[in-house]
Amino acid sequence: MTVVDAAAKPASGASGLPVGLFAPYVSADNNFTSQICAVGVQFTQRLASRLLVEGLDWQPSGVMSRKYGEAERWHADAGWIKPAALVKACLAQANVTWRGHCDVKRLSRDGDSWMLIDKDEHILARADMVVIATANQSAELLNTMSAAPKLIFQAVRGQVTYGNLSAPATAETSTYPINGSGSYIATDAEWLVGATYDRNNLSLDASIRDQVDNFERLENLAPEIAAQLKPAFERGLVNNWVGIRCATTDRLPIVGEVLQGLWLCTAMASRGLTFAPLCAELLAAQCENDKSEELPLTPRLVKALSIQRYMKK
Ligand SMILES: Cc1cc2nc3c(=O)[nH]c(=O)nc-3n(C[C@H](O)[C@H](O)[C@H](O)COP(=O)(O)OP(=O)(O)OC[C@H]3O[C@@H](n4cnc5c(N)ncnc54)[C@H](O)[C@@H]3O)c2cc1C
């Protein structure tokens, strides 16, 4: 399998997030997102435990949910992951080749195969089966083909603020993540708080306003930790990271075959760490003569994730 990527190094998109949460999602009506997350966390943990170093790249630590007006709730099927470590570990598997600096501008059918073509009309790669997983750029790639469904994604900018656990000393910070209106994570060496949501500004430059927002988020979520980290914010001993999420209007990913041999697996929104390993397994099952019924997903959930919801009836 060859992975072609416009970027110079792996995990340069939203997956460059320093550390993120995988967690169940509780809703009053146990909606599709909740049901898919409940399965997703299992697949994420299975993949992480196979490929990553526990305690360093990920931790099935559980997560404390603190939502305004609700009692605290403990989720055992949850934890943190460094997404770039997961991406690199996936790419390091046997029979996977990664090629950077391959900015695909359009796809074209040639006999039984697909050609991936750059802006100068050079053929970057040719394959019988192609999976588009280019987040917001997936819509542009599909839109170059008249037979493909027209997709519109919401690009949502987010900024997280993070720092070193020892600068200044923050010995008493929580050892498990806290999730509510925003989230706080402490890993082996760092803490992180976030994230902002912004649809009107898609700049990748960090903003001080968002850093202040993240501190206020932490004050609401965990005032005791905010008090400890206040000196780090005041002395500028913090870093910021900005990324752009890719979301559908229903906030569910899209998985499925768009045209013969051309597949889509994208729009992970704010839950790529909970959704992506499950979506990858679903795609693999579907292209193997549709073995998706072997996955712990009901047909309704498979349909909720399907590209079919964007196809003309
Ligand atoms: C601030 C912030 C906080 C977040 N926190 C969490 C969290 O706590 N938990 C969680 O689960 N999720 C979180 N997310 C969401 C998570 O980061 C994403 O869902 C996930 O990383 C998406 O992965 P992806 O591979 O679909 O997209 P990306 O990681 O964006 O990858 C897209 C890839 O496509 C490549 N590409 C784009 N266009 C082209 C092209 N034309 N040709 C070739 N290659 C191309 C890019 O170079 C990139 O490598 C957060 C996101 C942000 C921004």
**What CATH number is associated with residue 21?**
3.50.50.60
Per-residue confidence (pLDDT) for residue 170, from 0 to 100: 56
Per-residue confidence (pLDDT) for residue 313, from 0 to 100: 56
Site to probe by mutation for ligand 1, drawn from 2, 3, 5, 265 as the one with most ligand atoms within 8 Å of Cβ, is: 5
β-sheet bridge partners, residue 116: 107, 125
Residue-wise pLDDT tens digits, 117-128: 999 999 999 999
195 Cβ closer than 6 Å to some ligand 1 atom: yes
As for how many domains the chain has, the answer is 1
Residue 173 has pLDDT above 70, yes or no: no
Residue range of the domain that includes 146: 1-313
pLDDT band at 188 (very low <50, low <70, confident <90, very high): confident
pLDDT band at 90 (very low <50, low <70, confident <90, very high): very high
Cβ neighbours of residue 14 closer than 8 Å, sequence gap 6 or more:
83, 135, 243, 244, 245, 246, 268, 272
Determine the Cα–Cα distance for residues 189 and 165; give it in Å rounded to an integer.
6
Per-residue confidence (pLDDT) for residue 70, from 0 to 100: 86
- pLDDT, averaged across the chain: 94
- Give the residue, by CA position, lying nearest to ligand 1 atom 20: 272
Per-residue confidence (pLDDT) for residue 168, from 0 to 100: 57
Per-residue confidence (pLDDT) for residue 54, from 0 to 100: 97
> Got the DSSP string for 160-199?
EEEEETBTTB-TTS-SS-EEESEEEEE-SSEEEEE---BS
Cβ neighbours of residue 232 closer than 8 Å, sequence gap 6 or more:
163, 167, 168, 170, 238
pLDDT band at 311 (very low <50, low <70, confident <90, very high): confident
Mean pLDDT of 10-28: 97
* Distance from Cα 276 to the centre of ligand 1, integer Å: 10
Determine the Cα–Cα distance for residues 245 and 154; give it in Å rounded to an integer.
8
* Distance from Cα 156 to the centre of ligand 1, integer Å: 11
Least confidently predicted of 141-145, 178-182, 190-194, 286-290 = 286-290
* Distance from Cα 204 to the centre of ligand 1, integer Å: 13
pLDDT band at 69 (very low <50, low <70, confident <90, very high): confident
pLDDT band at 291 (very low <50, low <70, confident <90, very high): confident
Pairing of strands 262-266, 130-132: parallel
Determine the Cα–Cα distance for residues 131 and 133; give it in Å rounded to an integer.
6
Per-residue confidence (pLDDT) for residue 300, from 0 to 100: 96
Mean pLDDT of 22-26: 96
Mean pLDDT of 229-249: 96
280 Cβ closer than 6 Å to some ligand 1 atom: no
Residue-wise pLDDT tens digits, 152-169: 999 999 999 999 987 655
Amino acid letter, residue 292: S
* Distance from Cα 40 to the centre of ligand 1, integer Å: 17
